[in-house]
């Protein structure tokens, strides 16, 4: 009788063990199905998720101001109105800069087109002769390779881009108002869905808010001085559209790693059209490269410190992933999203290894295991 009980207990434990293994396998398979489905939904519903994620980061920037106004006994609707006025003020300033840039381009457009035509004609003719391409003599090079139909198509795509940008901007402001008015509480969402503990959710939310705020402020300041440096370099070397190139360098610098390369390469190609291929052009390229290296390669890591210890592989993978899903907004938000995910993964011992692999912190892994 005792042997039969032991035998039944043994088979019962084996059955439980097998069922637990089957459950674990099922969960892993479901995870492989759910993750691609989730990314697919993020791509399809990008018109909702892009403004929502943008608004979450913007709301985090203004949460310290909202708390300060609350301590000063300022009503919450008045605080939200103040934040909206600040955002509108920034948008107004951005519109003024874009308007000045447009005026600058229109004022010197004809002179630049003449320079570009004369500089490119020799290069295009040599390429045509090399590949045996025939073109009507006397026909404009730009008109030949950029027909009016293509220009109209580009204008239409630009108009669609501006329209979608305007709609997403309005949706972002709307979501920011909802978040700051506490119609949606992200801290409570963390507490009810992920952590299930009030203390952990509050601590995690404070860390996310602090890190995202630091990232945005440092990135904004570094990008601003990068744009100023590019604009001054264009002024000093008499390169056309200094305001445009300063604004372009400021905006593209928000795309981590890739943006700095794009700004230097494009401005160098543009300067090749305007400057003689002598020591002046080389020195100009050295100057703008030095500005980018100083700001992005020296000062930015110093100000960031070790807060965003993400290895290069993680940054590149996240840039490609979010760039594929959301395009330019995904490239801009890839690093804040990665920092956000890394902080969440650090709070769970089961996912701590993944967070350490994202930062390349092998010492941290061994230290936490021993601890």
User: What's the pLDDT score for residue 62?
Assistant: 85
Please tell me the distance from the alpha carbon of residue 95 to that of residue 162, in angstroms, as a whole number.
13
Task: Read off the pLDDT of residues 294-307 as tens digits, 9 standing for 90 and up.
Answer: 988 788 877 776 55
pLDDT band at 368; cut points 50, 70, 90 = very low
In a domain, 122, yes or no: yes
In a domain, 74, yes or no: yes
User: What's the pLDDT score for residue 140?
Assistant: 57
Domain residues for the domain of 58 are 45-184
pLDDT band at 250; cut points 50, 70, 90 = very high
In a domain, 281, yes or no: no
41 pLDDT higher than 80: yes
User: What's the pLDDT score for residue 290?
Assistant: 93
Please tell me the distance from the alpha carbon of residue 277 to that of residue 259, in angstroms, as a whole number.
25
From 358, 337, 82, select the one nearest 215 (Cα to Cα). 337
Q: Which residue has the higher pLDDT, 266 or 202?
A: 266
Task: Read off the pLDDT of residues 148-162 as tens digits, 9 standing for 90 and up.
Answer: 554 445 545 556 666
In a domain, 96, yes or no: yes
In a domain, 205, yes or no: no
Task: Read off the pLDDT of residues 125-139 as tens digits, 9 standing for 90 and up.
Answer: 666 666 666 655 555
Q: How many structural domains does the chain have?
A: 1
347 pLDDT higher than 80: no
Please tell me the distance from the alpha carbon of residue 314 to that of residue 310, in angstroms, as a whole number.
6
In a domain, 113, yes or no: yes
Residues 288/269, Cβ–Cβ less than 8 Å: no
In a domain, 71, yes or no: yes
User: What's the pLDDT score for residue 3?
Assistant: 52
Q: What residues contact residue 151 under an 8 Å CB cut-off, 6+ apart?
A: none
In a domain, 10, yes or no: no
């Amino acid at each position: 009788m005792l042997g039969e009980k032991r035998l039944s207990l043994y088979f019962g434990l084996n059955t439980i063990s097998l069922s637990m293994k089957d459950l674990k396998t099922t969960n892993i398979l479901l995870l492989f199905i759910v993750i691609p489905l989730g990314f697919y939904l993020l791509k399809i519903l990008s018109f909702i998720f892009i403004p929502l994620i943008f608004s979450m980061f913007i709301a985090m920037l203004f949460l310290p101001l909202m708390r300060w106004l609350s301590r000063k006994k300022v009503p919450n609707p008045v605080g939200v109105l103040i934040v909206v006025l600040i955002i509108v003020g920034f948008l107004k300033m951005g519109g003024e800069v874009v308007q000045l840039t447009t005026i600058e381009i229109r004022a010197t457009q004809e002179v630049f087109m003449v320079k570009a035509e004369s500089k490119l004609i020799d290069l295009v003719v040599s390429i045509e002769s090399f590949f045996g391409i025939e073109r009507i003599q006397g026909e404009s090079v730009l008109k030949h390779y950029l027909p009016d139909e293509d220009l109209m198509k580009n204008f239409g795509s630009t108009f669609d881009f501006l329209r979608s940008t305007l709609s997403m901007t309005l949706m972002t402001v709307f979501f920011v108002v909802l978040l700051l008015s506490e119609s949606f509480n992200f801290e409570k969402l963390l507490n009810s869905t992920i952590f299930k503990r009030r203390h952990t959710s509050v601590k995690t939310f404070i860390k996310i808010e602090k890190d995202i705020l630091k990232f945005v402020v440092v990135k904004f300041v570094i990008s601003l001085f990068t744009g100023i440096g590019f604009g001054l370099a264009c002024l000093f070397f008499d390169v056309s559209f200094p305001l445009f190139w300063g604004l372009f360098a400021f905006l593209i610098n928000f795309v981590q790693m890739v943006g700095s390369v794009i700004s230097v390469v494009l401005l160098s190609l543009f300067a090749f059209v305007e400057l003689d291929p002598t020591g002046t052009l080389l020195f100009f390229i050295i100057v703008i490269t030095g500005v980018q290296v100083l700001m992005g390669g020296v000062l930015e890591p110093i100000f960031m410190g070790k807060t965003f210890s993400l290895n290069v592989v993680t940054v590149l993978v996240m840039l490609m992933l979010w760039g594929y899903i959301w395009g330019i907004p995904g490239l801009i938000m890839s690093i804040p999203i990665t920092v956000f995910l890394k902080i969440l993964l650090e709070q769970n011992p089961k996912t701590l290894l993944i967070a350490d692999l994202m930062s390349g912190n092998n010492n941290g892994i061994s230290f936490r295991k021993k601890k």
